[in-house]
Homo-oligomer: A and B are copies of this chain.
Amino acid sequence: MTALYRRVAFVGLGLIASSMAHAIRRAGLAEAMTGTARSAETRATAREMGLVDHVCDTAAEAVAGADLVVLCVPMGAMEALAREIAPHLAPGATLTDVGSVKQSVFDAVAPHLPGHVHFIPGHPIAGTEQSGPRAGFADLFVNRWCILTPPEGHDAAALDRLTRLWQGMGANVDLMDAAHHDLVLAVTSHTPHLIAYTMVGVADDLRRVTDSEVIKYSAAGFRDFTRIAASDPVMWRDVFLTNREATLEILGRFTEELFVLQRAIRQGDGAHLQAYFSRTRAIRRGIIEAGQDTDAPDFGRIKP
């Protein structure tokens, strides 16, 4: 494939950036890549791995001369970063990000950008529970969706090129309004994560059941929650701080529904429980048919 960009710059070198670097290199989507990270240790690791062509010590250096800049930092760091790099962005460059919440990223970043930069926020719906530059792999985005939320008055050519980049990494691309994105992700990601964190926290905090018991008997369902609850704490803190309203809305629906089931348990209403549990099987089938999960039992889990 012909390179789509002359130089791609990553600010932040965690799971998503490192996966993008591997995928871009494999498909030849950029002539060169630079990158930087706030932590000296991460920069040293990235240098040692040869993750990108040049690991810079500052964001200003990394973005200079890049025609695509990808912000891959926790959302709480986006605004300060936008201020820092704005004077160094090349005219005509595209700026994107991979944050899990889109309206707040736009509000934090857009006001600081010069008029000659095309800002197109994005969010690849892909990840694992692991973090850092060594966690990335080229296949992460294959057959996953990437949602772009181009603002009103965006540059059509810049959007087209960014779309082709994600497709080149194996992803399908959808366009969406930022606010709707944040509601959809509150359902498919943010609320499930909060619930998993809560369940794991509760289990860790009981006096009558020991941690050792929780660990030994986790294969009965609980261990699935612990994977999600092992995700990066800073990233997830920022998700809930920046997608507050949609998360609270879905959490409200969740607790309402949970109370109805709780009442059915208390009252011994087996018919209600069985009907509820039967209905939820269909959505699993839909996910498997759409190629968004494996139908192998237990995820085809690798035996430890």
Which residues of A approach B to under 8 Å, CB–CB?
Answer: 76, 100, 125-130, 135, 139, 142-145, 147, 174, 183-185, 187-189, 191-206, 208-209, 211, 213-231, 233-234, 236-238, 240-241, 244, 247-248, 250-251, 253-255, 257-258, 261-262, 264-266, 268, 270, 273-274, 276-288, 290-304
Contact = CB atoms under 8 A, between A and B. Distances in A.
Q: Which 7 A-B pairs have the closest CB atoms?
A: A300-B302, A189-B220, A128-B297, A233-B277, A230-B284, A188-B222, A226-B284
Contacts of A193: 221
25 contacts: A125-B217, A126-B219, A143-B303, A174-B216, A184-B213, A184-B217, A185-B217, A188-B213, A189-B221, A189-B222, A192-B222, A195-B258, A198-B261, A204-B280, A205-B253, A206-B250, A216-B290, A216-B292, A224-B225, A224-B227, A226-B287, A236-B277, A241-B265, A294-B304, A298-B299
A125 B218 CA distance: 8
Contacts of A233: 273-274, 277-278, 281
* Residue of A227, A300, A303 ringed by the most chain B CB atoms within 10 A: A227
B225 A192 contact: yes
Contacts of A251: 258, 262, 265
Contacts of A276: 197, 201
B270 A237 contact: yes
A147 B195 CA distance: 28
B209 A192 contact: no
Please state the number of chain copies in the assembly. Answer: 2
A15 B128 CA distance: 29
Nearest to A251: B262
Contact of A223 (B200, B226, B262, B293): B293
A204 B297 contact: no
Contacts of A209: 183-184, 187
Nearest to A302: B300
Contacts of A174: 216
A199 to B, nearest CB: 6
A198 B211 CA distance: 25
B229 A280 contact: yes
B297 A302 contact: no
A115 B206 CA distance: 39
Contacts of A183: 208-209
Given A204-B283, A300-B302, 5 more contacts: A187-B203, A189-B220, A192-B221, A237-B277, A294-B304
Residue among A135, A145, A265, A281 facing the most chain B CB atoms (10 A cut-off): A265
Given A199-B191, A216-B174, A302 B292 contact: no
Given A197-B280, A204-B283, A297 B257 contact: no
B223 A292 contact: yes
Contacts of A129: 284, 297-298
A126 B201 CA distance: 23
A161 to B, nearest CB: 23
